[in-house]
């Protein structure tokens, strides 16, 4: 069973743990009182009370998931209106402030793959939620309050998207036709070389070759299937003089690899100048 198959199972198990933990807190909060003498007196919770507490815990998990699903849609490019009914005004504002995942990083719908309870009381809770697509995981935290109409996601700590924005070239940029063709050819040839399908190293400068030699290139250490690569997509960054950045998504035996590199025009043609 693969990691991807195990993720839904892990998320389901985490939900059970959270329900039990919250229900336990609620039960402990209401099963003891003190007599007029100050001595503790055990109070047996009725079936109705226990059912009510379990229902409250279930409602908590539902509130967690409703916001997480809405937030995943927003991160994937949906308008911010999807957040309006999923949580408080504050949590929606915090989500919007963190912005969205760059379009070139979106690789399948984001889904909840893990929930971890951090802290809970009778009327508040904190959880860590992990949203993931086919390639990337985005953990963030939710802080919830129990209000008169039910549980509400009051605040969030968004995922860190800075690396996505820093590494991803700007979309809708086109280098010369020859440069674009060379980048596409390089992306496939590089994966084939790293997978052992081709013994020929693709065109690259001495600096890029040194990255490969020292194991600091994009796919260093990856266990790639020994199969021919297929280019899924490629995006280009702004050209600067004789250079431009590219980010490619290449599929090898069903697995996708994403990497960024810099192309440069040399005296003999286009070559990879650096892995980003």
Weakest-pLDDT range from 23-32, 62-71, 263-272: 23-32
In the numeric block, the tokens 């959880």 are attached to 127
- Whether the Cβ atoms of residue 237 and residue 244 lie closer than 8 Å to each other: yes
User: What pLDDT, on a 0 to 100 scale, did the predictor assign at position 131?
Assistant: 92
Regarding the domain delimited by 3-160, which CATH topology (the fold level of the hierarchy) does it fall under?
Answer: Nuclear Transport Factor 2; Chain: A, (3.10.450)
Tally the C-alpha atoms within 13 A of residue 46's C-alpha that lie toward its C-beta. Answer: 3
Query: Hey, how many other C-beta atoms are within 10 angstroms of the C-beta on 240?
Result: 9
The pLDDT value recorded for residue 163 is 63
**Residue 164 banded pLDDT, cuts 50, 70, 90:** low
Q: Any alpha helices (H) in the chain, and if so which ranges?
A: 3-30, 47-75, 89-97, 162-167, 177-195, 206-214
For residue 186, the Cα-to-chain-centroid distance in whole angstroms is 28
Residue ranges, CATH 3.10.450.50, the chain: 169-275
Tell whether the model's pLDDT for residue 5 goes beyond 80: no
Q: Which of 4, 155, 168 is nearest to 101 (CA)?
A: 168
The predicted pLDDT at position 121 comes to 86
* Architecture of the domain whose range is 169-275: Roll (3.10)
pLDDT average, residue stretch 158-174: 64
Cβ burial of 151 (10 Å; 0-12, 13-18, 19+) is buried
């Amino acid at each position: 069973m693969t990691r991807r198959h195990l993720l839904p199972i892990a998320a389901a198990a985490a939900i059970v743990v959270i329900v039990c933990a919250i229900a336990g807190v609620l039960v402990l909060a209401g099963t003891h009182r003190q007599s007029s003498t100050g001595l503790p007196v055990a109070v047996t919770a009725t079936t109705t009370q226990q059912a009510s507490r379990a229902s409250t815990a279930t409602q908590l998990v539902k509130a967690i998931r409703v916001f997480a699903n809405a937030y995943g849609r927003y991160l994937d490019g949906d308008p911010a209106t999807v957040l309006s009914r999923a949580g408080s005004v504050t949590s929606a504002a915090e989500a919007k402030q963190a912005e969205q995942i760059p379009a070139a990083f979106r690789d399948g719908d984001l889904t909840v793959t893990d929930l971890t309870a951090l802290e809970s009381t009778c009327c508040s809770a904190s959880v860590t939620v992990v949203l993931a697509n086919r390639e990337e995981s985005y953990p963030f935290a939710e802080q919830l309050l129990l209000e008169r109409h039910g549980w509400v996601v009051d605040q969030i700590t968004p995922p860190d998207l800075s690396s996505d924005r820093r590494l991803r070239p700007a979309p809708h940029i086109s280098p010369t036709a020859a440069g674009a063709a060379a980048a596409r050819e390089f992306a496939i040839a590089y994966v084939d070389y790293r997978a052992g399908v081709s013994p020929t190293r693709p065109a690259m400068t001495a600096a890029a070759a040194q990255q490969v030699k020292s194991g600091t290139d994009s796919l260093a250490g990856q266990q790639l299937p020994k199969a021919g690569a297929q280019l899924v997509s490629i995006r280009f960054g702004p050209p600067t003089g004789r250079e431009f950045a590219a980010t490619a998504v290449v599929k090898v035996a069903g697995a996708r690899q994403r990497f960024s590199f810099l192309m440069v025009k040399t005296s003999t043609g286009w070559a990879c100048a650096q892995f980003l």
